[in-house]
Amino acid sequence: MTTPPITSDLTGQAAIVTGASQGIGRAVALVLARNGAKVACVARNAEKLRETVAAIEGAGGQAMAIACDVKDRVSVDGAVDRVADQWERLDILVNNAGVTRDTLLPRMSDEEWDEVIDTNLRGAFLFARAASRHMMRARYGRIINMASVAGLIGNAGQTNYSASKAGLIGMTRSLSRELAGRKVTINAVAPGFIESDMTQAIGPAVLEEAAKRIPAKRLGRPEEIAYAVLFLAGPAAAYVTGQVLTVDGGMTG
């Protein structure tokens, strides 16, 4: 980072970050831990999760790895309860787990639609529902859903992905109205093109052309999304709820 990172006092707080094995999720987990949170790192790939946990612990933080299928209610409920029981609290949930199965609509299979919607939207719903029960009892909580500019403006070949992210935005706004009275805030972050394994799969030629259309003339870095999450997860954002923080280098204007 060329500018000093922001900080937030999360000392003693317990967080769950889904999709924490790589990319944005890994960056979010590391940033939350550096600011004092204990972080439960959730993903399907247990080996990559161990790498994230090792990085947190190597920097003096506290973390645990939880292998979990975010589409499965029993698995999600068990993961949330494990964190709340072991750390005796749950303060922050970052719903970051997501997949893409890109193709034009006439060629999109039922399975490609279902996998993206179930992972990106159902998974976030399951985690938010389970976490909100603990947060409402504690009368405190921060839920941050990882949306996308694709959920705001759409993207050809990503009907399933765009629908899942637009759904996350709608869910964020509705839940914020339900939970604000219990001091639980719900917000979304909508990244643009970010350097990650997911975007690298698009191919260098497409990414180079995309960067030309971004006013900032570059792709974002995972850490830049992580610091947006950090603000929404911290005490300074107590009066911010139901909002979508777009971090896209000016792409959507």
Active site residues: 161
Nearest CA-CA partner of 144 in 8, 253, 5: 8
**Distance, CA of 78 to CA of 231 (rounded, Å):** 28
Q: Strand pairing partners for 247?
A: 191
CB 174 within 8 A of CB 187: no
CB 158 within 8 A of CB 117: no
Residue 196, CA atoms < 13 Å, CB-side half-sphere: 25
**Distance, CA of 218 to CA of 199 (rounded, Å):** 13
Cα-Cα-Cα-Cα dihedral sign, residues 181, 184, 188, 189: positive
Nearest CA-CA partner of 198 in 95, 94, 100: 100
